[in-house]
Amino acid sequence: MLFNSHIFLMLYLPCIFIGYLLCPLKYRYPYITIVSLLFYLYSGLIPILLLIFSSLIAYIHIHFIQTLPLKKNIKIINSFVACIIIILPFLIIKYFFPAFGWIGQTFEVNFLNKLSNFTSSILLPAGISFYSFQILSSVFYKKTHKYKLSLLEYLGYVSFFPQLIAGPIVRIYNLVPQLRLLIKRRSEAKFMNDIIIGTQLITVGLLFKTFLSDVLRSFFYNINYNQLTFFDSIFIIFSKSSIIYADFWGYSTIAIGLALLFGIQLPRNFLQPYLCSNIQEFWRRWHVTLGQWFLDYIYKPLLRRNNYIFSVLAVFYLTGIWHGYGIRFILWGILHGISLIIFVKYIKGKNFFIFGTILTFFWVSLLWILFFYPLNEAFLIYSSLINFDFSSGISNANFAIKNWFYLIFVLLVIFGFNDDFLYVNSRFKFRLSFTKKNLYLKKTDKHKGYNYKKVFFKSHILILNTRNVLSNIFCKFLRSPLVMPLLLVISILFFSYSKTFIYFNF
């Protein structure tokens, strides 16, 4: 069940929210667990059985292995075995069956081809890569058993429906205490604050997902990649970069808004990463919860035994294969790892002001092509970009002038909207992207990385403050009792363009 679907917004969400309000306080945690499992059951019986199986293995390990007085080495071995069993369905479904398909296509073995297509159509569960990592984080955390969770409570942690299929990946010590606090009644002021901010986040998230990402995705059909010009390649590169950000940001923002309706705070997953002036800062702000997971459980343990370069390349190799099957995803991860190593070793500490932001955005956008296209088509896009063929102008009807105007509009929204203003009035303390004490800069402020030249610094302050003023006005305008429903209706009207969450395609 997708957030950007009529059945979810008009049937499932109203019904479960009314049921939540009517449910006695002491039963709200079990109620959330049951409705979350029903939400995932919509994907099919096999996906929910796989989720319950992985959760059951982790639960047995946490409550029977972690609590036994065993030697440290034996506990490590048991933990390793439990992790292998938990992640095995993820590995088999996402990598082994597609590998059968590749072998079948390469050596013309029809049986393997049909097996791969069949298993992919009925077995691939939505969000398996997200909830597998969430389960693993509870296994790695040594104090999980101290929460003394029942199996139903643990299933509630794993299957909490707002973040089940698209993240953010939440740690057990962040989510379980909040779910247990559902037995306490929120004050009317807190309840209304959560409803207003949550609805606001859902509305803006739907606008990004449907009005920006899905409409832009609709431009890509029947494209002849053998006849691309320089301008066509530029359109593709910036469009795909905008699509994946608007799609993922929108879906994650909807998830945070849905959780707020029930009084739960989820962490922000995107902190305006396209405004970063270097690749290191980009990876601190893109898919924050996944990056933190790899940092805690892969990078830090590797760094204790290996050098920096090996650790970074290993992490980005795993990041690539986590996102999808194929050489292109591995290449995408390795290239990001190499660029991060080059920055840390040779460039870090130098100020490039806005030029760093432009170069980082262009490099990240170039690499997104490997995400969307097979290597042969990606090569055609890159080669048409390098050839500098300006003679034909815009050769493809999909990339007409009106579509260019829409792309420019989407980029202006992505770069011009400061989403910090969506969170500043919440009763929760959400992490902000760039600001600490306030959301406006002064000429006397020494903003890190932007005091390169006074003339540039003053211009930067003017641009950022203008952006912040407009974003603040929009968010105040959004809270109007007439505007928010209107924008929600507009988002629903654009459901005709709606497509699945983009990560489900990889």
Give me the half-sphere count of Cα atoms (radius 13 Å) on the Cβ side of residue 60. Answer: 11
Domain-located, residue 317: no
Domain-located, residue 75: yes
Domain-located, residue 278: no
pLDDT of residue 128: 80
Count of CB atoms situated within 10 Å of the CB of 501: 19
CA distance 133 to 316: 16
424 and 465 in a single domain? The answer is: yes
119 and 225 in a single domain? The answer is: no
pLDDT of residue 450: 37
CA distance 62 to 138: 8
267 and 196 in a single domain? The answer is: yes
Last residue of a domain, one of 185, 201, 230: 185
* Spans in the chain with pLDDT lower than 50: 393, 436-457
Residue type, 437: K
CA distance 237 to 409: 15
pTM check: above 0.95: no
Domain-located, residue 296: no
151 and 203 in a single domain? The answer is: no
117 and 258 in a single domain? The answer is: no
Count of CB atoms situated within 10 Å of the CB of 422: 24
Last residue of a domain, one of 185, 202, 219: 185
140 and 181 in a single domain? The answer is: yes
Is the Cβ–Cβ distance between 251 and 265 less than 8 Å?
A: no
* 186: helix, strand or coil: coil
Q: Positive or negative, the Cα torsion across 24, 59, 158, 72?
A: positive
Could you tell me the residue range of the domain that residue 61 belongs to?
A: 6-185
27 and 99 in a single domain? The answer is: yes
209 and 165 in a single domain? The answer is: no
220 and 146 in a single domain? The answer is: no
160 and 210 in a single domain? The answer is: no
88 and 237 in a single domain? The answer is: no
How many structural domains is the chain composed of? 2
pLDDT of residue 108: 58
Domain-located, residue 175: yes
Contacts 24+ apart (CB under 8 A), 331-339: 331/370, 331/375, 332/367, 332/370, 332/371, 335/367, 335/370, 336/279, 336/283, 336/367, 337/312, 337/313, 338/313, 339/279, 339/363
Domain-located, residue 61: yes
pLDDT of residue 489: 82
26 and 132 in a single domain? The answer is: yes
Last residue of a domain, one of 160, 185, 210: 185
Q: Kindly report, residue by residue over 279-334, the tens digit of the pLDDT.
A: 998 999 999 999 999 999 889 888 888 788 899 999 999 999 888 777 889 999 99
Domain-located, residue 324: no
Domain-located, residue 230: yes
CA distance 55 to 73: 24
CA distance 201 to 435: 20
